Amino acid sequence: MPNLRFTEQPLSEWMSQGGKESDIVISTRVRIARNLIHHPFPMLATGQQSEEVLKLLQEVLKDERLQNYGNLHPILLADLEDLDKRILVEKHLISPNLAGESRRGAAFISEDESLSIMVNEEDHLRIQCLYPGFQVQEAWSKATEIDDIFEDHVDYAFDGNRGFLTSCPTNVGTGLRASVMMHLPALVLTQQINRILSAVSQVGLTVRGIYGEGSEAMGNLFQISNQITLGQSETEIIENLYGVVLQIIEHEKNAREKLLSESRLRMIDRVMRSYGILSHAAIMDSKEAAQRLSDVRLGVDIGLINDVPAQVLNELNVMTQPGFLQKLFGENLSPGERDMYRAKLIREKVGN
């Protein structure tokens, strides 16, 4: 039986820890994509060939050095219900692509959920490290240490000119994708966000929603990540992301100060209206919930609200998603029922 603790608890242990600049940067993620030489890439592999890759990588997981990162719990996607797979995606523990590989995909997740090793996703191996707040260097250091352990046991598909070979051309080279999840409500309210994000795209970075490529930026949450994997070293990619995010943090802080100095009463009214609605609403769709929770998070971060812990808001970011709601209240909820239970859940968490 699969370990379902990961789908029953909304808040990953790593998220309950503090992190640098956590009032603006929610989390940091580093993901490394690798493939094994002499093995067809997942999109071309047969079931038997994928099974061989899984067994090979499972042997690597026995390396004692990996025990330094905590117990890794194996999860075979074929053993999971669709709802549980959806929750793992909502918690960012697996990718949507892996969730679709129900026949031959697997994930090995650490006890605190900060490390997820995905097998037979778009690539044979994807090493993902998650940290709270702004910890790009720390996440990269951990990911590359684990990558080195795997490379001691298996031969990666590598080209002297192109670097690491991946299924998608956008990952060829370093195979590195580093990202930060940022809460930028003040830049949105002061209408600076489009200018800032346009500038970001000019320096080799890209902006996505909370679930990556193709997802919507809801609740003023934006995922900033490197767009270039070929032609830059890993160090250059990490340093570029780090430097740009520092600038965005400074812009967001300045925008918050401007709102408080020039529009303080309007800010208080906006935050407290959302606080009141979350505390009493009977129906709440996911988009409104994300926006109202963003307002309250801003109120907490700038000191207008003192009785809502940031951890509660982190929990609600997961618990109000469709998959987790259905896990809590019943697997076959209609959209209207989800809106009702979402409001109920928020009332209980925020109202108390």
Domain residue ranges in the chain: 5-255, 264-351
Name the CATH superfamily for 5-255.
Glutamine synthetase/guanido kinase, catalytic domain (3.30.590.10)
Q: Rounded to the nearest 5°, which phi and psi values hold at 182?
A: -115, 140
Give the Å distances, CA to CA, from 278 to 96, 268, 342, 346: 29, 15, 10, 6
Angle at the Cα of 113 from the Cα atoms of 45 and 179, rounded to 5 degrees: 75
If DSSP codes are grouped into helix, strand and coil, which group holds residue 17?
coil
* Buried residues in 92-119 as b, exposed as e (16+ CB within 10 A): bbbbebbbebeebbbbbbbebbbbbbbb
**How high is the pLDDT of residue 275?**
96
Write out the chain's pLDDT in tens, 352 residues: 455 678 877 778 888 777 899 999 999 999 999 999 999 999 889 999 999 999 999 999 999 999 888 889 999 998 999 999 999 999 999 999 899 866 789 999 999 999 999 999 999 999 999 999 999 999 999 999 999 999 999 999 999 989 999 999 889 999 999 999 999 999 999 999 999 988 998 888 999 866 555 456 688 999 999 988 888 899 999 999 999 999 999 999 999 999 999 999 999 999 999 999 999 999 999 999 999 999 999 999 999 998 888 888 988 988 999 999 998 888 788 999 999 999 999 999 997 6
Give the whole-angstrom CA distance, residue 155 versus residue 85: 30
Residue 249, pLDDT score: 97
What is residue 80's three-state secondary structure?
coil
State how far the Cα of 129 lies from the Cα of 205, in Å rounded to an integer. 19
Q: Which residues are annotated as a binding site for ATP?
A: 27-31, 92, 126, 177-181, 208-213
Q: 136-151 vs 47-60: helix axis angle to the nearest 10?
A: 110
pTM of the model: 0.91
CA-CA-CA-CA torsion for 106, 111, 117, 118, nearest 10 degrees? 30
Q: In the prediction, which pLDDT does 1 show?
A: 47
Contact between 104 and 57 under an 8 Å Cβ cutoff? The reply is no
Strand partners, 6: none
Residue-level pLDDT at 2: 54
